[in-house]
Amino acid sequence: MKVPGLKLICLAFLFIHTRILVCYGAPDDAVDDYTDETPAKPPPPEMDNCNGVFLSYAFTSRTKALPLLKNVSAQPWTFNAMATVVNSGTEEVKGWKMYIGFQHKEILVSATNAVLVDGDVDFPAAVGNGTTLAGYPKADLKTSIDTAGDFNQIAVQVELKGSMFGLGEKATPMPKTISLRNDGWRCPTPTKYKTYMHACCKRDPKFKVNSNRKSKFAARQNGDLTFTYDVVKSYEGSYEAQVTMDNSSPIGRLDRWNLTWEWMRGEFIYSMKGAYTPRFDISDCVYGLAGRYLTGFDFTNVMNCEKKPTITDLPLTKANDTQIGKIPYCCKNASLLPPQMDPSRARAIFQLRVYKLPPDTPPTILYPPQRWNITGVINARYHCGPPIRVDPSEFPNPKGFDAKVYAIASWQVVCNMTRAEKRKTRCCVSFSAYYSDGAIPCSTCACGCDNIDTDKCNPDKPAMHLPPDALLLPSENRTAKTKAFAKLKKKGIPRKLPCPDNCGVSINWHINTDHKAGWSARMTLFNWQEAPFVDWFVAVEMKKAYPDYDDVFSFNGTKKLKGIKNTIFFQSLKDLNYLVEMKNGSKPSDPKVPGKQQSVISFIKKKTPNIKIRKGDGFPSKVYFNGEECALPRSFPSSGHRSPLSIASFILISITTTFLLITNRFI
């Protein structure tokens, strides 16, 4: 579907540069025939009236793609669009980022002059819920004042190509909105037309700008996790860089971290110190652009030639290795702890030698890798922004002089913790209480249903309540107890039971006591994996009970977390820092036994005398294990009184369980 009327709007942007030439004088080699023709159309008046950053999105065309289907909602289309960012203000925009609120199941196939901000996403990328683009290779937009109106330096146009689904032939698939995602800028609701929208973003008057800052580079930003990419030496055709990782979040953590980025200009890693790539592969160099340009180069000792390498830390045993170790803060088994646990283990550093390809061989041409992403085992998830050029980093003089050494060029990558999508977390929480004889287990498929045979269980059925002792068993051994408890409570038993939570770690929060002066809870950690957790921690958000936290008896606990509200931090005692792995039972026929640690936690009611424990005030609103936010149940234990026949009930459950185990051995 072509949109001819839009051509005038698009051409208006292309004429901006022409208008500048007319006003300020064309260069010597320009054709001198402007006086004989009609003057070029000026840009949209909205941009002339914008003293800030002008954004626009122009939908240009879409065409039906194969396969051709009768189902309109399933019909794929290819589309083309143009996004434009113009600095029409008086302040340079450093590291521009534009959000486009796609809403029609779009799949972005390419974007010129920009990269996707999501570090782990590459083209083609599903962007149907919106996406953010960042400038590359030109990340900064100068002002018209500083460039004598050079449109190429104050603006960027991003050609977008992709696919989308649904909508009739006459519909116009525009995004919901567009906005500038840089800190300190506010964008109004865009003005919308059928095939075009624009917005003028202005400085937020409440945002504090350091007026004394004179640097031409962006100021360093704070984040949960930050990377600094410092070029410390530069040669013809190669350079040496140092990468520094800093964990600033009191509840952020990484275990067995893997860092990835993407080389955009054919670079490759020749060697590293303080880290390594698990894959040593030179085939991409030999058969790729490097082999074509670097004739005669010996690739034998090259570490990695992948466009998107994976990098990880060295083990402790390599810390003093003079060839690949001997780097400060390196070699900690790829573990990065919160600073309050151990400041020396909240930082990691490694160095690398990078080779470049023509035309980037001069020492002054330097580009950092893009699309940074880092992952851990059961840890926080991070969303990383693009590399932003910052002031060169300072280092102490290696010869001991009272002087500073500066990096040749420095970039910063800021990553912040994100919340896991539903059923994509890796830990879960169950609730129980002294006043209820049933426990609310982790939610069905709380950690996803991968590797679960959904023909034998129902992934959409809510989890069934359990007797508390069933929480000690692996999910595959709970069937008999679940059915017996349901019969006791006169609850229906579905033909297919709900699927298990499928989590590697679970935490039980049990209300232990409740009296006039205070109350207590018992927190139990279960490790259902085959590997232990060392130096673990749990952070618990208590919206109403937080002020009256008193003490914890078998863990270390503190309320002093910088920047985190209403959260209590628990960690292992010094000599009990292992949450051991799951092990086999005493007999081959016995269920496996999870690794377990627990402690009672006491609260007083001095500041919260009206707290209602049985109404749910004594249960956490968020729980983090090693930085990973755990899935919580959707309800609390019943506030009714425990049945006076509870002991007899459990005897009955045991008898019924035994019977079911005999008659349903293969369930």
Alpha carbon of residue 665 to chain centroid: 44
Q: What is the mean pLDDT of the chain?
A: 87
Amino acid occupying residue 214: K
User: Do 540 and 493 reside in the same domain of the chain?
Assistant: yes
Region 520-538: mean pLDDT is: 95
- Is 216 inside a domain boundary? no
User: Do 461 and 544 reside in the same domain of the chain?
Assistant: yes
Rounded CA-CA distance 101/180 in Å is 12
User: Which residues, 6 or more positions from 567, have their beta carbon under 8 angstroms from its beta carbon?
Assistant: 251, 539, 540, 541, 542, 546, 559, 561, 622
Task: Give the pair of three-digit tokens for residue 147.
Answer: 């460039």
- pTM exceeds cut of 0.85: no
User: Do 247 and 383 reside in the same domain of the chain?
Assistant: yes
Rounded CA-CA distance 55/178 in Å is 7
Q: Cα 472–474–479 angle (5° rounding)? A: 100
Q: For the chain, state the CA radius of gyration.
A: 30
User: Which residues, 6 or more positions from 398, have their beta carbon under 8 angstroms from its beta carbon?
Assistant: 405
User: Do 412 and 449 reside in the same domain of the chain?
Assistant: no
- Is 212 inside a domain boundary? no
614: how many CB neighbours lie within 10 A of its CB?
16
Q: Are 151 and 159 in contact (CB under 8 A)?
A: no
Question: Which residues pair with residue 237 across a beta bridge?
Answer: none
Region 26-44: mean pLDDT is: 40
Q: Are 348 and 313 in contact (CB under 8 A)?
A: yes
- Is 460 inside a domain boundary? yes
Strand order in the sheet with 556-558: 556-558, 567-571, 537-541, 622-625, 628-629
More confident residue, 176 or 20: 176
Rounded CA-CA distance 481/658 in Å is 9
Segments forming the whole domain that contains residue 336? 225-417
User: Do 578 and 600 reside in the same domain of the chain?
Assistant: yes
User: Do 118 and 62 reside in the same domain of the chain?
Assistant: yes
135-186: pLDDT as tens digits: 999 999 999 999 999 999 999 999 999 999 988 888 889 999 999 999 899 9
User: Do 436 and 381 reside in the same domain of the chain?
Assistant: no
User: Do 553 and 473 reside in the same domain of the chain?
Assistant: yes
DSSP-derived pairing of the beta strands 427-433 and 505-514:
parallel
User: What percentage of the chain has pLDDT greater than the value 90?
Assistant: 75
250-260: pLDDT as tens digits: 999 999 999 99
639-662: pLDDT as tens digits: 654 444 343 343 333 434 333 333
